[in-house]
Amino acid sequence: METDYEDNTAFLGECGTFQKMVFFFLCISVIPNGFTGLSIVFIGDTPSHHCLIPANANISAEWINNSIPIEKQGEVSVLSECARYKLDVIKSLSDKGYVAGVDVNVSEIQQETCLDGWEYDRGTYTSTIVSEWDLVCANKWKKPLTTSVFFCGVLTGSFLSGQLSDRFGRKIVLFATMGVQTLATFLQVFSPSWLVFCVLFFVIGMGQISNYVAAFVLGTEILSPSIRIIYSTLGVCLFYTIGYMALPGMAFLIRDWRMLLLALTLPGLLYVPFWWFIPESPRWLLSQGRVEEAAVILREAARRNRVTAPEVIFPSFQTRNRSSRLETYNICDLLRTSNIRWVSITLWLVWIILSIGYFALSLNTSNLAGSSYLNCFLSAATEVPAYTMAWLMFRYCPRRLSLFLTLFPGGLVLLFVNLIPANLSSLSIALEMLGKFGVTAAFSIVYAYTAELYPTVVRNTALGACSMASRVGSIAAPYFIYLGGYSKSLPYILMGSLTALSGLLSLLLPETHGMPLPDTIAHMQTLPGFKKRPVDESSQITGQDKCLSSAF
């Protein structure tokens, strides 16, 4: 039975004590996502390094200074990271009294790999996972894989948490995943090997996205329309950015990766009392037929707002047959009809491309000229005006236009980075931050836009599926940076082209500006050119048959 939730709960007002409390506590719960998701920028950074010359090699200091080949990187000469001159040859020449560069041309000596390990520069970091487990040279591929493993966990969490949240409730999934994230990060501090680190990083990824999506949907469904826009485009995003901005400061003060992770774990313990202040979503309870529980939450909200609740809050449910079986939904319903199928596919493509741009630009800050700490902070600080602009656009502008005006110009700016001469590094960084500005604003808009497109019965599942699709992009993002080792312009060409393309794709989506949140699939807006047909909700098939029918 359809209910007009907004009308039934209008007695609460727009911005009372209850709404402010929910807004504040849910936003606070998002802060750890900011530093957990991007901590790999510092704990996985690669310090300057070259082959280790062991102390027992018995080679003169002069020959030690000439034992590493010199290589060209652009216009700069640097020590080779993965090769050294053969130590037995050098030792023989040193024992015979030959002088390097005078009696012997060292460049003619045969080279070998770093058989005794590497010596790392300790000026920036005391240790990272790269320096601890030697993720360089032949093992260089493990570094981007580490980040991709995290995003594989995010993908898995997106798939599971959305359906769990729609089945068991937003609140329980929110707190369970916050606990998983905190515990796994704490255990990661004691990782004995790279493999164990990756396994735990996978679990952290599962908890990280599940926490964020559950908090996002919970606030979207509880808060009144005017506060909902601020929450979904500005509130959770800004508090995520607070965590992101705190990350470089903490990394600057704590240069050891294990101690940094331990410091990032501690805030998770502060969220236990939030359980008593954050309620379950009344919208979700209604979708499950739990009318009395929804009414209890709203009466408590009315008490906090100092208003009087009506005797019957949801009159349309009073005549409902309580013994009737409620319809259940799963991820297959996102592909069941032609309209919802094309909405889902279009959104998935936009989310994938957005994720590539956002995370590739965020993870690339340690590779930019200048201080990695300052660059990371600038990348985070750029998000504050981006989210502010996204909120203003989302409040006053059509959704499709807002998404297009952030994505398409953002993609073009990234293409211009390739045209900047190498000696104007400040200008190229500024353009990259401008591209990050557009992609970040678009990410904020697409979260809120997606929540408006899908109905209550599948909203968390839909957001989880979109987030899951975006993780295909985030898994690929580290390898976009990896391509920069072969051609510095290639990552920007790919990111810029794809981001501009996603801006064009966004114009294909239906408009939701000024529309109430849909409660059922029949209430969804249609794609331009699609004719809306009535859907008989009572005759929908369920379970495995729905999954099979959605494919045809």
Q: Which of 248-252, 440-444, 536-540 is least confident? A: 536-540
Whether the per-residue pLDDT at 546 is higher than 70: the answer is no
Residue ranges in 189-328 assigned as alpha helix (H): 194-222, 225-230, 236-253, 257-265, 282-287, 291-305
Copy the structure tokens of residue 14.
Answer: 């727009």
The mean pLDDT of 234-242, rounded to a whole number, is 84
Copy the structure tokens of residue 104.
Answer: 């012997």
pLDDT for res 134: 92
CA-CA distance, 31 to 175, in Å (whole number)? 14
The mean pLDDT of 387-413, rounded to a whole number, is 86
Q: In whole numbers, what is the pLDDT of the chain averaged over residues? A: 80
Whether the per-residue pLDDT at 2 is higher than 50: the answer is no
Query: pLDDT band at residue 523, thresholds of 50, 70 and 90?
Result: low
Render pLDDT for 310-366 as a digit per residue (tens, 0 to 9).
Answer: 777 777 665 444 444 456 667 777 777 777 888 888 889 999 998 888 888 887 776
The helix (run of H) or strand (run of E) holding residue 78 is: strand 76-79
CA-CA distance, 418 to 98, in Å (whole number)? 48
The helix (run of H) or strand (run of E) holding residue 384 is: helix 383-396
Give me the percent of the chain exceeding a pLDDT of 70. 89
3-state secondary structure of 386: helix
Q: Which of 193-207, 298-312, 453-467, 489-503 is least confident? A: 453-467
- In terms of pLDDT, which residue wins out, 78 or 233? 78
The mean pLDDT of 495-512, rounded to a whole number, is 86
CA-CA distance, 406 to 538, in Å (whole number)? 41
Whether the per-residue pLDDT at 549 is higher than 80: the answer is no
Query: pLDDT band at residue 189, thresholds of 50, 70 and 90?
Result: very high
3-state secondary structure of 84: strand
pLDDT for res 520: 73
pLDDT for res 324: 43
The helix (run of H) or strand (run of E) holding residue 120 is: strand 118-120
Rounded CA Rg of the chain: 27
- The ranges assigned to domains in the chain are 5-45+140-315+330-523, 49-120
Q: Look at the domain 5-45+140-315+330-523 and name its fold.
A: Growth Hormone; Chain: A; (1.20.1250)
Alpha-carbon torsion (363, 368, 373, 379), positive or negative: negative
Copy the structure tokens of residue 295.
Answer: 């009414």
pLDDT for res 477: 83
The mean pLDDT of 1-26, rounded to a whole number, is 76
Query: pLDDT band at residue 191, thresholds of 50, 70 and 90?
Result: very high
Query: pLDDT band at residue 511, thresholds of 50, 70 and 90?
Result: confident
- Return the closest-CA partner of residue 301 out of 322, 279, 327: 279
Render pLDDT for 40-76 as a digit per residue (tens, 0 to 9).
Answer: 889 988 888 888 888 777 787 777 888 888 887 666 7
The mean pLDDT of 195-211, rounded to a whole number, is 89
pLDDT for res 538: 42
Verdict on whether the full-model pTM lies above 0.85? no
Whether the per-residue pLDDT at 129 is higher than 90: the answer is yes
Query: pLDDT band at residue 293, thresholds of 50, 70 and 90?
Result: confident
Antiparallel, parallel or unpaired: β 76-79 and 70-73? antiparallel
Render pLDDT for 145-165 as a digit per residue (tens, 0 to 9).
Answer: 998 899 888 888 877 776 788
Angle at 456 between CA 214 and CA 528, to 5 degrees: 115
Q: Any residues with CB less than 8 A from the CB of 380 and at least 6 apart, and which?
A: 34, 241, 244, 245, 247, 248
Alpha-carbon torsion (515, 277, 216, 402), positive or negative: positive
* Contact status, residue 214 vs residue 174, Cβ threshold 8 Å: yes
